[in-house]
Structures are given as C-alpha cells and as structure tokens.
C-alpha cells in the first residue's frame, strides 16, 4: 500500500503521461455531461492523500465531494466490506432480508436529533433520498406543495433538480419540472437581498415563508419544506439559528413536513454528527448520504414513525436500496467517527483553515467572505468588496494552480465564485498547512 502520512508531496507538469492517455480515452468514450475538475486519474488513496496514475501525490480537500469524511480507504471499513462480500453481496432486502440493514436503521434512528420514534428506509444516492422524502411528505399529509430554498442543491433527478436552485448547469434544457414547488430566500447574509445586517435584520428572509403562505400557496396545500442546514453547493451558506428555527416552527404549526437534507453537512462534517444539532433542529425527515458509508453508495431517509409508515408496502424502495456491503461499511463508519474523534478533528481542521483564509482575506481584496461551520469552510471571491460583484473567472485558474502543486480543491456557489473545502477529517495539520500555502501562492499568482 502507499503512504500512510507525511508522504512526499510532489508534482510536475500535470497531467502526466499516463493521465493524458486516459483523458484521451475518457473524452472519446464518456458523455460530456459528466463533469471533471482537473485532469487527475487516481491510482490509489489513503487518508487525505491521493496518488495519481503517474505517481504524483495530492492533498485532497474535496473528499470525493464530501464523501470521505473518515478518510480514503479506512482500514476498518475495508475489512468490513471484505467480510461482507465474502458472505453475500446482493440478496435484495425485499427478497432475503439481512441484519446489517436492520442494525443500521436502528442506529441511525436512535442517533437522529429529536426525541421521537424513528423509522428508516435506505436508497442509493442523495437525490434518491430527496425523491423519497417528497413522496413521503405528500403521502403523509395528503397535500402537494413542496417548498425549497434559493441557493439550494438537492440532486439531479427530477424532483431533486426541481427543488435545486441553480439553473446552469443543473436545470438548463431539462424542463418541465415537478409541479407545485416554491422557493423562499435562503439566509445568505453576505448577500442579503433585503440589505439587512444580522442580527438587526429581523430575519426578514424567514418572514418570506409567511408571505409565501399568504400570497402564493396556502399552508393547507403544502406537504413539505426541504432545506440544507448549511447549504453546500450554494456556497457553504451558514444561516443564523433563528432563521432555521423560524422555518421549523412555521412548518410544525401548519402540518408541513420539515425535511432536513444533511447529505453534505452530515456525519461530522460540521463538528457534530449532524449540523441540525448546532441549531437544535428536530427534523420530521432527515436525509443522509455521501459520507455515511465511507465511500460505498448509500443514502438514508429517516423519519418519524407515522410519516415513514404512511405509505403502503412496495411504494418506496428499489432493487439495490440499502445493499449489504454499504450497510456493513456504514456500521463501521459510525464506530470510526467515535474512535477517531472526528467531531473534534472537524472543529480543529475547520479552525486551521478558517484562520488561514482570514489572514488571506487581510491580504487579498478579492476575498469578500470567509465562512463555515466545522470543517465545512468556504471562501467567496469578488471583484470589488463594495459592489460584491462575483469574481467567477478566477476560480478555475486557482483550482488548476492548486492541482499543479498537488492540492485538490473545488468550486461552489450560485455565482460559481466560491472555493469550498471538504477535507477528510483525518487530515494532518501539516497537510492542511501545505494546502493553505499552495492556495495562497495560487491566489497571488493569478492576480499578478
Ligand atoms: N443533497 C445535497 C445537500 C447534496 O449536496 C447533494 C450532492 O451534492 C445531493 C443532495 C445529491 O446527492 P447525490 O449526488 O448523491 O445524488
């Protein structure tokens, strides 16, 4: 196996010859619609490091888009996966049931915030979890409307895409969308549409839900409201607690299912198992995916018993849903989060990154905002701090420069002018420091 820690981080002129050859084949054989960030082709990975097919080593600040919170190829997860595939791989839970599914459902139900009796169903992806949440909210309430937030991202299937709020690239050319959906403003304080200043703003953005229920659709017709407690793809927008609590309270008093999408913010990313815990949220439905199974595909829909049992047998589920290998991996992930103290690590890593980004903000005028919760940290670039005009063009250049120096980062934001950091939570201080040094040099380079 490759490096454990302190691997030599080296780079040359990237991509190297093997990666170039693979890229030629990729461009001929894979749909253009499947995006890529850099020319990286992986050979192996461990912890926070990735080695490419030309033996260049990278510090990974993406975690496979928020999936490898416990690090790439955790030994305990690998062992659990191997043990499981030696026993059985796919009996299908609807045909021959198995304990790992049930045990994981019990554990996730018990861990979900809010003192309520929970039931669970598993699916394969974040988007699929969102689809099921919409179905459950409609079936349970007998109502149709679904409300989501501006700047949200919920996935690429039809309901999930409809509820998502970034048109390009996610929605262009794909209409018509799911009917009876509505949007309200998110608490994007850096770009407050009402030019308010927290905490003196009266949380005007939350008031918009009340306006919507008066002016657009009556609460009697709204089945659910879905939100990410910290918006991910939207640019790591961290709302004030009062905002989320106000929306939750309006939902609770109007029989609107309060759906919390923690696909990206969950599993210790923000310094707690769920970001909902920072806000004392009590979701009617909680959605998980990405990091729950250490890299294996799995998602979970966890809801109150009465919601989860409001559908008839066979109305939710699917062939691969909750496959045993993913469930076995997820059970190990839960143990590893405790063993590795990942909530603490998340806070430490987040602080180290945030401190460095704030120092960069003092140095570079093009940094408009630094924000985050735990190790879910982002930096927003602007052309002018006064007008806050998004500086989107610079992002690709910075990402490419970092890649050339062995650091993987990725973009986000409704204006694509944000760089987000989703490091594996086992990243060492040295690796974080290396990444920040490379980022700072890249910014310096692209603005000169
Ligand atoms: N919800 C959130 C908050 C996400 O960040 C994502 C993916 O990034 C999804 C849903 C969709 O997940 P998937 O890509 O697994 O369908």
264 CA closest ligand 1 atom index:
5
Query: What is the CA(7)–ligand 1 centre distance, in A?
Result: 31
Q: Is the dihedral of CA 386, 392, 394, 398 positive or negative?
A: positive
**Does residue 262 have its Cβ closer than 6 Å to ligand 1?**
no
Distance from C-alpha of 157 to C-alpha of 126, rounded to nearest angstrom: 10
Query: What is the CA(125)–ligand 1 centre distance, in A?
Result: 7
Query: What is the CA(85)–ligand 1 centre distance, in A?
Result: 27
Q: What is the pLDDT of residue 2?
A: 43
**Does residue 261 have its Cβ closer than 6 Å to ligand 1?**
yes
Q: Which three-class secondary structure string do you get for the chain? A: CCCCCCCCCCCCCCCCHHHHHHHHHHHHHCCCCCCCCCCCCEEEEEECEEEECCCCEEEECCHHHHCCCCCECCHHHHHHHHHHHHHCCCCCCCCCCCHHHHHHHHHHHHHCCCCCCEEEEEECCHHHHHHHHHHHHHHHHCCCEEEEECCCCCCCCHHHHHHCCCCCCCCCCCCCCCCCEEEECCCCHHHCCCCCCCCCCCCHHHHHHHHHHHHCCCHHHEEEEEECCCECCCCCECCCHHHHHHHHHHHHHCCCEEEEECCCCCCCCCCCCCHHHHHCCCCCEEEECHHHHCCCCCEEEEEEHHHHCCCCCCCCCCCCCCCHHHHHHHHHHHHHHHHCCHHHHHHHHHHHHHHHHHHHHHHCCCEEEEEEECCEEEEEEECCCCCCCECCHHHHHHHHHHHHCCEECEEECCCCCEEEECCCCCCCHHHHHHHHHHHHHHHHHHHC
Query: What is the CA(35)–ligand 1 centre distance, in A?
Result: 15
Q: Is the dihedral of CA 292, 294, 296, 297 positive or negative?
A: positive
Query: What is the CA(267)–ligand 1 centre distance, in A?
Result: 14
Distance from C-alpha of 395 to C-alpha of 411, rounded to nearest angstrom: 7
232 CA closest ligand 1 atom index:
5
**Does residue 154 have its Cβ closer than 6 Å to ligand 1?**
yes
Look at ligand 1, atom 12, and give the residue with the nearest C-alpha.
Answer: 126
Q: What is the pLDDT of residue 11?
A: 57
State how far Cα 446 lies from the chain centre: 28
pLDDT tens string 275-320: 999 999 999 999 999 999 999 999 999 999 999 999 999 999 999 9
Query: What is the CA(154)–ligand 1 centre distance, in A?
Result: 5
289 CA closest ligand 1 atom index:
15
228 CA closest ligand 1 atom index:
3
| Mean pLDDT of all residues belonging to the chain | 96
Confidence of residue 10 (pLDDT cuts 50, 70, 90): low
Confidence of residue 13 (pLDDT cuts 50, 70, 90): confident
Distance from C-alpha of 325 to C-alpha of 297, rounded to nearest angstrom: 9
pLDDT tens string 225-236: 999 999 999 999
pLDDT tens string 19-61: 999 999 999 999 999 999 999 999 999 999 999 999 999 999 9
Across 113-117, 427-431, 440-444, least confident range = 113-117
The pick from 124, 126, 132, 288 for probing ligand 1's pocket by mutation, whose C-beta has the most ligand atoms within 8 angstroms, reads 126
**Does residue 228 have its Cβ closer than 6 Å to ligand 1?**
yes
The burial of 20, by beta-carbon neighbours within 10 Å (0-12 exposed, 13-18 middle, 19 or more buried), is given as middle
Higher pLDDT, 103 or 10: 103
Query: What tokens appear for 100 in the block?
Result: 């790992």
User: Can you say whether residue 65 is alpha, beta or left, with left for phi > 0 and alpha for psi between -120 and 50 degrees?
Assistant: left
Residue 3 has pLDDT above 60, yes or no: no
Mean pLDDT of 175-195: 96
Query: What is the CA(10)–ligand 1 centre distance, in A?
Result: 32
Q: What is the pLDDT of residue 202?
A: 94
The pick from 130, 165, 238, 263 for probing ligand 1's pocket by mutation, whose C-beta has the most ligand atoms within 8 angstroms, reads 263
Mean pLDDT of 414-419: 97
Query: What tokens appear for 241 in the block?
Result: 């607690």
pLDDT tens string 244-283: 999 999 999 999 999 999 999 999 999 999 999 999 999 9
Helix axis angle, 342-363 relative to 324-339, nearest 10°? 70
The pick from 63, 66, 289 for probing ligand 1's pocket by mutation, whose C-beta has the most ligand atoms within 8 angstroms, reads 289
Report the percent of the chain where pLDDT is more than 70: 97
**Does residue 125 have its Cβ closer than 6 Å to ligand 1?**
yes
Query: What is the CA(323)–ligand 1 centre distance, in A?
Result: 19
Contact 155, 148 (CB under 8 A): no
Mean pLDDT of 329-342: 98
Q: What is the pLDDT of residue 111?
A: 98
**Does residue 248 have its Cβ closer than 6 Å to ligand 1?**
no
**Does residue 264 have its Cβ closer than 6 Å to ligand 1?**
yes
Beta bridge mates, 182: 147
Confidence of residue 4 (pLDDT cuts 50, 70, 90): very low
State how far Cα 154 lies from the chain centre: 9
């Amino acid at each position: 196996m490759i490096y454990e820690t302190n691997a030599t981080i080296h780079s040359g002129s990237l991509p190297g010859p093997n990666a170039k050859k693979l890229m030629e084949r990729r461009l001929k054989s894979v749909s253009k619609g499947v995006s890529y960030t850099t020319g990286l082709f992986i050979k192996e990975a461990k912890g926070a490091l990735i080695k490419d097919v030309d033996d260049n080593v990278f510090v990974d600040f993406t975690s496979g888009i928020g999936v490898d919170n416990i690090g790439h190829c955790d030994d305990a997860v690998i062992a659990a996966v191997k043990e499981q595939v030696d026993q059985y791989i796919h009996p299908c839970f609807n045909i021959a049931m198995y304990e790992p599914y049930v045990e994981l459902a019990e554990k996730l139900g018990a861990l979900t915030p809010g003192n309520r009796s929970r039931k669970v169903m598993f699916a394969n992806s974040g988007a699929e979890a969102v689809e099921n949440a919409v179905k459950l909210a409609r079936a349970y309430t007998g109502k149709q409307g679904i409300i989501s937030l501006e700047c949200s991202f919920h996935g690429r299937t039809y309901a999930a895409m409809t509820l998502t709020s970034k048109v390009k690239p996610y929605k262009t050319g794909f209409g018509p969308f799911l009917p009876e959906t509505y949007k309200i403003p998110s608490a994007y304080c850096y770009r407050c549409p009402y030019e308010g200043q927290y905490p003196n703003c009266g949380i005007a953005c939350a008031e918009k839900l009340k306006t919507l229920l008066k002016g657009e659709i009556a609460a009697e017709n709204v089945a659910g409201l879905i939100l990410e407690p910290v918006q991910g793809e939207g640019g790591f927008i961290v709302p004030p607690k009062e905002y989320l609590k106000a929306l939750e309270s309006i939902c609770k008093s109007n029989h609107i299912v309060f759906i919390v999408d923690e696909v990206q913010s969950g599993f210790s990313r923000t310094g707690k198992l769920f970001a909902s815990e920072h806000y004392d949220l009590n979701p009617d439905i909680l959605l998980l995916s990405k990091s729950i199974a250490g890299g294996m595909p799995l998602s979970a829909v966890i809801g109150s018993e009465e919601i989860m049992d409001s559908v008839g047998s066979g109305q939710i589920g699917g062939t691969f849903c909750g496959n045993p290998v993913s469930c076995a991996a997820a059970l190990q992930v839960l143990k590893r989060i405790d063993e590795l103290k990942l909530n603490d690590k998340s806070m430490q890593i987040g602080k180290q990154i945030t401190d460095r980004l704030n120092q960069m903000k003092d140095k570079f005028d093009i940094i408009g905002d630094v924000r985050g919760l735990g190790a879910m940290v982002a930096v927003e670039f602007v052309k002018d701090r006064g007008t806050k005009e998004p500086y989107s063009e610079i992002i690709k250049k910075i990402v490419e420069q970092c890649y050339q120096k062995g650091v993987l980062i990725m973009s986000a934001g409704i204006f694509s002018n944000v760089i987000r950091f989703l490091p594996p939570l086992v990243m060492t201080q040295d690796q974080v420091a290396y990444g920040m040094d490379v980022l700072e040099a890249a910014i310096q380079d692209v603005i000169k």
